[in-house]
Amino acid sequence: MPTAFPIAAEVDGVLDAWRAHALDIVLKVMSIVMLPLLISVMTGHLVSVPRFLSIPFLLTYLPLLLAAVRTRWSLHRRAGILLSTLAIFGVVQLGMTQLTGSGRITLLALPLVATILVGTRTGWLMAACSIAIFAGVSVLIHGFGLHSWISLQAPLPVVRYETWILQGIRLAAALLPLMLLLTRFQILQRQSLIAERMALRRLEQESADRKRLEYEIARISEAERRRLGADLHDGPCQYLTATLLNCSAMEHQWMAAGLAVSPELLAIRQALEEAIGMVHDVARGLCPEDIATDTLIPALQRMCREVGSRHQIECSLQVDHNLVLTNNNQALHLFYIAGEAVANAVKHAHCTRITIRLGHENGCVLLEVRDNGCRPALTAAAAEPGLGSRIMAYRAGLIGGELQVESSGNTGTCVTCRISQPAPKP
Q: Is residue 172 part of a domain?
A: yes
The pLDDT, as a whole number, for residue 280 is 76
Same domain, 199 and 343: no
Q: Is residue 211 part of a domain?
A: no
Same domain, 36 and 174: yes
Instruction: Return d(Cα 367, Cα 292) in angstroms, integer.
Output: 15
The pLDDT, as a whole number, for residue 143 is 66
Same domain, 296 and 282: no
- CA of residue 307 relative to chain centroid, distance: 42
Same domain, 271 and 302: no
What's the Cα-to-Cα distance from 105 to each of 302, 334, 343, rounded to whole Å?
Answer: 84, 70, 79
The pLDDT, as a whole number, for residue 411 is 76
What CATH number did the domain enclosing 374 receive? 3.30.565.10
What is the length of the chain? 426
Same domain, 283 and 299: no
Residues 6+ apart with CB under 8 A from 416: 366, 367, 368, 403, 404, 405, 406
Same domain, 242 and 325: no
Counting as low any pLDDT under 70, the low residues of the chain are 1-4, 44-53, 143-158, 285, 287-290, 375-385, 409, 422-426
Q: Is residue 53 part of a domain?
A: yes
Same domain, 144 and 200: yes
Same domain, 185 and 331: no
The pLDDT, as a whole number, for residue 154 is 46
Transcribe 109-127 into DSSP letters: HHHHHHHHHT-HHHHHHHH
The pLDDT, as a whole number, for residue 47 is 58
Residue 311 lies in domain = 290-420
DSSP H/E element including 39: helix 4-43
Same domain, 257 and 336: no
Handedness of CA 107, 112, 114, 119 (dihedral sign): positive
